[in-house]
């Protein structure tokens, strides 16, 4: 595993759904593939890394940085030349994401791969066997910050990092789960970072005001991921975030798992949005 410093090149990638999960294939048929949504987690994780002092962090989303929602040769060159590749994936994007990891490892033998998101969280061993060096399961902000910091150390120990699974020789180590961030901790996170291309090309921007859901529906993985923990971000933090993305796109997609779990708070938020002049134009 190569030497890492805060000047090392770190790239975050989330591949879009494709037909039949083919790497760099045609866009999927599903409704979400019709929208050019920014990645939900990676822009925040990029901001966390920047705040942590990392000098060379790039987020690459084929929807904004590629061509026809596919990676270009230049995109692949940028990925394969990075020191650390962070891949975020859900289940329907796991085949192409794992294929990307294999290509990266083939081109960059001692490059470091960190996988995270819903699918790696539920299939840690499969992702590690497929080529990932680390899997961050559950919420990733603190775990990614601690892991990347530890990678800069001469003597690297990972056994004490909660929410992390990794390979130790031929053995797979799964550390204890990380405690979920509370509302105050969520409010102390940096605002998501959006680069120039993303800001210019986004039509529908995303906003998260809460995490989790108090219900436990059989068909939903949210409770499996978060437990029945419902946490609200401070309204001042949400309003600050809405002001930051005010000039991005024309619509907002609220990504909350349950936007109206606390109706009184939802009404208060809507009133604050109207009062602050943050309403979007009707279509």
Residue 269 neighbours by CB under 8 Å, 6+ apart? 209, 235, 238
- Residues 167, 222 within the same domain: no
- Per-residue pLDDT reduced to its tens digit, 223-254: 888 888 899 999 999 999 999 999 999 999 99
Query: Residues 38, 199: contact at Cβ < 8 Å?
Result: no
Which CATH number do you get for residue 84?
3.40.50.2300
Across residues 256-264, what is the average pLDDT? 95
Query: Residues 76, 49: contact at Cβ < 8 Å?
Result: no
Q: Report if residue 84 sits inside a domain.
A: yes
| Domains held by the chain: number | 2
What end-to-end distance do the CA atoms of the chain give, in Å? 52
Query: Residues 206, 249: contact at Cβ < 8 Å?
Result: no
pLDDT of residue 283: 47
Residue 169: give the domain boundaries. Answer: 10-174
For residue 282, pLDDT over 90 is answered with: no
Give the whole-angstrom CA distance, residue 38 versus residue 90.
14
Q: Report if residue 3 sits inside a domain.
A: no
Give the whole-angstrom CA distance, residue 131 versus residue 242.
38
- Per-residue pLDDT reduced to its tens digit, 139-164: 999 999 999 999 999 889 999 999 99
- Residues 116, 234 within the same domain: no
- Residues 144, 214 within the same domain: no
pTM check: above 0.75: yes
Read off the tokens for 223: 């409770």
- Residues 269, 160 within the same domain: no
- Residues 137, 220 within the same domain: no
- Residues 210, 141 within the same domain: no
- b/e burial code for range 130-152 (CB count within 10 A of at least 16 → b): bbbbbbbbbbbbbbbbbbbbbbe
For residue 260, pLDDT over 70 is answered with: yes
Q: Report if residue 270 sits inside a domain.
A: yes
Which CATH number do you get for residue 248?
3.30.750.210
Give the whole-angstrom CA distance, residue 234 versus residue 231.
10
Query: What is residue 53's three-state secondary structure?
Result: coil
Read off the tokens for 86: 């962070």
Any alpha helices (H) in 52-182, and if so which ranges? 62-65, 73-80, 94-107, 118-122, 124-130, 141-151
């Amino acid at each position: 595993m190569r030497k890492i410093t805060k000047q090392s090149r770190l790239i975050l990638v989330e591949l879009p759904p494709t037909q039949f999960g083919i790497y760099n294939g045609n866009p999927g048929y599903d409704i979400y593939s019709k929208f050019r949504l920014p990645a939900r987690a990676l822009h925040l994780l990029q901001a966390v890394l920047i705040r942590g002092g990392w000098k060379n962090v790039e987020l690459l989303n084929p929807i904004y940085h590629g061509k026809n929602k596919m990676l270009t040769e230049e995109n692949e060159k940028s990925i394969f030349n990075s020191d650390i590749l962070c891949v975020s994936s859900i289940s329907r994007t796991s085949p192409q994401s794992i294929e990307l990891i294999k290509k990266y490892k083939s081109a960059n033998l001692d490059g470091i791969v960190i996988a995270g998101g819903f699918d790696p969280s539920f299939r840690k061993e499969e992702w590690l066997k497929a080529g990932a060096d680390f899997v961050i399961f559950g919420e990733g902000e603190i775990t990614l910050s601690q892991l990347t910091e530890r990678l800069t150390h001469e003597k690297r120990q990972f056994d004490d990092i909660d929410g992390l699974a990794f390979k130790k020789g031929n053995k797979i180590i799964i550390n204890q789960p990380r405690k979920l961030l509370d509302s105050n901790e969520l409010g102390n996170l940096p605002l998501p970072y959006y680069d120039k291309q993303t800001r210019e090309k986004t039509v529908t921007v995303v906003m998260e005001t809460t995490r989790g859901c108090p219900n436990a529906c059989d068909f939903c993985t949210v409770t499996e991921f978060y437990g029945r923990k419902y946490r609200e971000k401070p309204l001042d933090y949400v309003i600050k975030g809405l002001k930051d993305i005010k000039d991005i796109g024309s619509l907002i997609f609220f990504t909350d798992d349950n936007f109206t779990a606390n109706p009184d708070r939802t009404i208060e938020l809507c009133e604050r949005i109207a009062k602050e002049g943050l309403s979007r134009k009707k279509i």
